[in-house]
Amino acid sequence: MPTVIEPKLIAGNSNLPLASAIARRMSMHRGMTVDLVNARVERFNDGEIFVEVFENVRGEDMFIIQSTSNPANDNLMELLIIADALRRSSAQRVTAVIPYFGYARQDRRTKARTPISAKLVANMLVEAGIARVLTMDLHAAQIQGFFDIPVDNLYASPIFALDIKHQFKDSMADLMVVSPDVGGVARARELAKRINAPLAIVDKRREKPGEVADMTVIGEVAGKKCIIVDDMVDTAGTLCKAADLLMSSGATEVHAYISHGVLSGPAVERVSKSVMKSLVITDSIAAPDPVKACKNIRILPTAPMFAQATLNIWNGTSVSSLFETDTLEPIYEGFFKG
């Protein structure tokens, strides 16, 4: 067993650029090199996942970096199998760093004879030997209660606030934060408080799941630069309709800040043709080429925050301190200069 237990990172295939960026930021924060553990995560011809770790991890504090994004099932199985490999290799503790937690939308039974898949995934992670979870902007906060192990849920809103203050520094008085639905009011209010802006709500009513029948704006948005804030954008249909509604209600500009850019199906095409001037997402999900090429989509880095949170977990200091702008701003110094 090592005399000094160092944090060691290992990554699945879901978001290798983010995993590498977290390792680089940890190296900067610590003043010593932190590399990803040498391992291979491969598939047999029939799709079975195989993991082999090439370094000794006995007694080590291990952090698996893996978003359970598309393909969600493959990435989830990678995470579980990596955790099992580390546990069987006598790692002292295994922490799952899951920037985007898949299946989070299935957090309750909306009708009879349906699953609560988020709870099932939580059970699977614990059974695989994971002792702690670090994630960001869970779709529903109560998912933390599905686990019998510690869960640290980071928030993108402090990063969004830093970016907004940089991008709109000459027009902060004209900003209006907008929640795209009643359920997201708490998230929108949090961001509005950080940038000292008023709050509006888009009230949407559905005839059936996936189809919005009617949308109305609660609040006066005329003459305002509206910032829609939400935790996830999938097909972007509702988001683009909300942007159209805000512009027709007198808004001068519409921007969106979304934590997780799922952006499936026609999402990128819809965003590119939308009245939105910009859609800002984080790199919690690896961006495919069409997302990178879209002119009105920007991607904010989460590696500085995840790197510091990982170090805080390793050395037993506060993770919630990263919710505060005063703590996060020095970490992001250099990203929002000039």
φ, ψ at 99 (rounded to 5°):
-55, -40
CA atoms lying within 13 Å on the CB side of residue 9: 25
Cβ neighbors of 167 (< 8 A, separation 6 or more) are none
3-class secondary-structure state, position 14: coil
> Which H/E stretch holds residue 228?
strand 225-233
Strand pairing class (93-98; 39-43) = unpaired
Report which residue type is found at 20: S
Contact 10, 37 (CB under 8 A): yes
Residue with tokens 């043709």: 273
Kindly list the distances between the CA atom of residue 60 and the CA atoms of 7, 9, 140, 234, in Å, as whole numbers in the listed order.
7, 10, 32, 37
Cβ neighbors of 130 (< 8 A, separation 6 or more) are 64, 83, 94, 95, 96, 149
> Which H/E stretch holds residue 143?
none
Kindly list the distances between the CA atom of residue 39 and the CA atoms of 18, 52, 116, 333, in Å, as whole numbers in the listed order.
17, 6, 33, 33
169 included as an active-site residue = no
Task: Name the catalytic one among 119, 165, 204, 241.
Answer: 204
Active site residues: 204
